Amino acid sequence: MFNVGDEKTVRIGNASGYWGDDLDALHQQLSGPLDYITLDFLAEITMSILRKQRSRRAELGYATDFLDQMRTCLPLLNQTGTRIITNAGGINPLGCAQELDKIAHGLGIQVRIAVVEGDDLTDRLDALLQKGIPLKNMETDQELKTIRKQVQGANAYLGAAPVIKALEAGAQIIITGRVSDAGITVAPLAFEFGWSLKDWDKLAAAVAAGHILECGAQASGGNITDWQDVPSFLNMGYPIAECLADGSFLITKHEKSGGVVNRQSVTSQLVYEIGDPASYITPDVIADFSTIVLEDQGKDRVRISGVRGKPRTDQLKVSLSYRAGYKAHGTLIVSGPKAVEKCRLLADLLWKRLGLEFEETSTELVGHSACHPHLPPPEDPPEILLRLGVRDPQREKVEAFTKKSTSLVLNSVPGVSTGSRPRVQGVLAYWPCLIPASEVTASVTLLESRQTFQVPWEPAHRKASSSPSRPPEPQKEAPSPATGRSARVPLMQLCYGRSGDKGDTCNIGVVARSQEIYPWLCQQLTARRVKDYFAEICQGEVERFEMPNLLALNFLLHESLGGGGTVSLRIDPQGKTLAEALLRMEVEVPDHLTPDQGQGSGGNSKFKIQNKFQIQNRT
């Protein structure tokens, strides 16, 4: 613990935003003073991967990268006394903890490890259905009984309470299964500051801190629109939250590390993968992100305060995975001249030669607007990666595709090359649903003593804050142009953004670069305009939420990811590229709001958009 003046400060760093993140991040975070380090490995798609993994080897089912990190970092961790909280346990947290214990003993290190379980509901599904709990799909309203025989696993999202219990028991390393992403940050703050689990505003502040930290370097310069302004991506710094008992906190990173922490990096993460910002629902609290106040505090320091919360619901989200057939992808590298024409002929040949009807097929010309099909592609690229895919309940049909797709190289057009034959993959689809929280009891096991504690759900009875204070809203009327002149520019010159996924829904957060731009943005970037812009890929409705406190708009594009996650055949099944696509939209803007008139730089004066994205067509 640290003290700033007379105030106790808890420093929490993140060292993993997903399974596949930089393995050196943990060692880097341990190089500076931290009380806690969180590591987030789980996403909906990761749970499906872990199910497949454990079906092949029963002792697995967890993020093995975590153990690789600990082999290197345990001695340093033992010296610093920093405590680790991670959901690396996946669907087998006990197995992960036991392997870690073996590693520690091999290094001659004693460490107290705790395991949080109780999230796995796989063996209880039939009993829950018999109780009249339908476990309807939150996206389609379909009842679980329609696919019950195909279900492979079900995990509820636990909250902070069992992690707090593990901390109270003295654990230095806590390995969980499916705990909410923010919950592994909420727990140490509630524990250290002695917060009640019904202190909604402070819990909401902790959720905001956890949401900023959970995706690793995305809060410290990774994946930001103005990437050219990041001083260095080498030795990338990972985010740190310096937290006070009143719920306010400061986001920073270790000195001399790469990346950047600024308003853009933090705001981009706050609008990432959320729904209604006024009701960000977690197992612990409903956080109101529309009350957040951000303040620049100097180089690589951004302060967050003012977060308000409401009582948690009496339900928990459950993530199920179920068998949904088979899929395969094949690729051909097709060179010019006339590469586009060749690709179209090759795809037509393949589908006709196969002579089969599939549940879904995909033809993508990578390098020719595959990610952004609604935007004008280059006229004649020198080469294209032709990506072909199929999905179907019948494995035999998918196998036929894998054999036929490589046969085009020698008997069609010139200048075509391929790698190995595609392989058939089983598809595990995502099924989100809700369950009464009273049906879930978490448990905490101390590995050394084998002592186990039950942590039942605690219902919320206290009312929400009576009068949450919100920051003043910017003027909503569109600004009157100073000269009457206008310019046609890409939205990127006026805004920055970030996109992600929840199932088959893509979230795109768009943030105005200045207070003056925001009213114009609210008027111009409507849900209908975004729907029309993405008409080729968005099959559902588009919702829009305003966040005037952050100068942001949040869009939800329903049915826009081809089923999403492991089901989708798209090259971008998680919508990661769609913010960049939206920011390429050309818009008519009053002349005085354009960057060269002193507006919209957002402190990123070095960032320039070249070629066709330069300001043009002044009238």
Domain annotation covers residue 445: no
Structural domain total, the chain = 3
- Count of positions (residues) in the chain: 619
**Where does a domain end: 430, 446, 466?**
430
Does position 602 have pLDDT exceeding 70, yes or no? Answer: no
| Position 151 in a domain | no
Question: How is the chain split among helix, strand and coil, in percent rounded to 5?
Answer: 30, 25, 45
Predicted confidence (pLDDT) per residue in 368-393, tens digit: 888 887 777 777 899 999 999 999 99
Q: What is the mean pLDDT of the chain?
A: 91
Average pLDDT over residues 67-95: 96
pLDDT above 70 covers what percent of the chain?
91
Q: Average pLDDT for residues 355-368, to the nearest whole number?
A: 95
Residues 96 and 243 in one domain: yes
What pLDDT is attached to residue 45? 79
Do 328 and 303 have their domain in common? Answer: no
Q: What is the mean pLDDT of residues 126-132?
A: 96
Are 360 and 305 in the same domain?
Answer: no
Alpha-helical (H) ranges within 109-170 are 125-130, 161-168
**What confidence score (pLDDT) does residue 619 get?**
32
| Rounded distance between C-alpha atoms, residue 9 and residue 243, angstroms | 5
Q: Is pLDDT at 615 greater than 70 in this prediction?
A: no
Q: What per-residue confidence (pLDDT) applies to 56? A: 87
Average pLDDT value for residue range 337-356: 96
Across 6-10, 399-403, 603-607, the highest mean pLDDT is recorded for: 399-403
Predicted pLDDT of residue 591: 87
Mean pLDDT in residue range 234-238: 96
CATH of residue 398's domain is: 3.30.70
pLDDT tier for residue 573 given thresholds of 50, 70 and 90:
very high
Q: What is the pLDDT of residues 469-503, one digit of tens each?
A: 444 444 455 555 555 788 999 999 999 999 999 98
Amino acid at 511: V
pLDDT of amino acid 4: 53
Contact 106, 194 (CB under 8 A): no
SS3 of residue 505 by DSSP: strand
Last residue of a domain, one of 279, 313, 347: 313
Which position has the higher pLDDT, 468 or 554?
A: 554
Per the model's pLDDT, the better-predicted residue between 459 and 297 turns out to be: 297
| The pLDDT value given to residue 479 | 54
Say if residue 161 is in the same domain as residue 301. Answer: yes
Separation between Cα atoms, residue 45 and residue 428, nearest integer Å = 9
CB 347 within 8 A of CB 331: no
Does 96 fall in a domain?
A: yes
Please indicate, yes or no, if residue 208 is contained in any of the structural domains: yes
**Residue 498 belongs to domain spanning:** 486-613
Residues 299 and 340 in one domain: no
pLDDT at residue number 482: 52
388 forms bridges with which residues in the sheet? Answer: 330, 363
- Once rounded to an integer, what is the mean pLDDT over residues 529-558? 97
Binned at pLDDT 50, 70 and 90, residue 618 comes out as very low
CA 438, CA 449: separation in Å to the nearest integer?
Answer: 28
Averaged pLDDT for residues 199-205: 98
Is residue 275 located within the same domain as residue 333?
A: no
One domain, residues 164 and 304: yes
- What pLDDT sits at residue 1? 59
Residue 378 has a pLDDT of 75
| Domain assignment present for 142 | no
Same domain, residue pair 511 and 386:
no
Q: What residues pair up with 233 in beta bridges, in sequence order? A: none
Is the pLDDT confidence value at 246 over 90? Answer: yes
- In this structure, are 341 and 234 located in the same domain? no
- Same domain as 73, residue 204: yes
What average pLDDT does this structure show over 15-25?
A: 95
Peptide linkage before 75 cis (omega within 30 of 0): no
Please tell me whether residues 362 and 292 are part of one structural domain: no
pLDDT band at 580 (very low <50, low <70, confident <90, very high): very high
User: Quick check: is 397 in a domain?
Assistant: yes
Q: Is the model's pLDDT at 601 over the cut of 50?
A: no
Is residue 134 scored above 60 in pLDDT? yes
Does residue 461 sit within a domain?
no
Contact 390, 327 (CB under 8 A): yes
> Does residue 24 form part of some domain?
yes
186 and 104 assigned to the same domain: yes
Q: Find the helix or strand (DSSP H, E) in which 252 lies.
A: strand 249-252
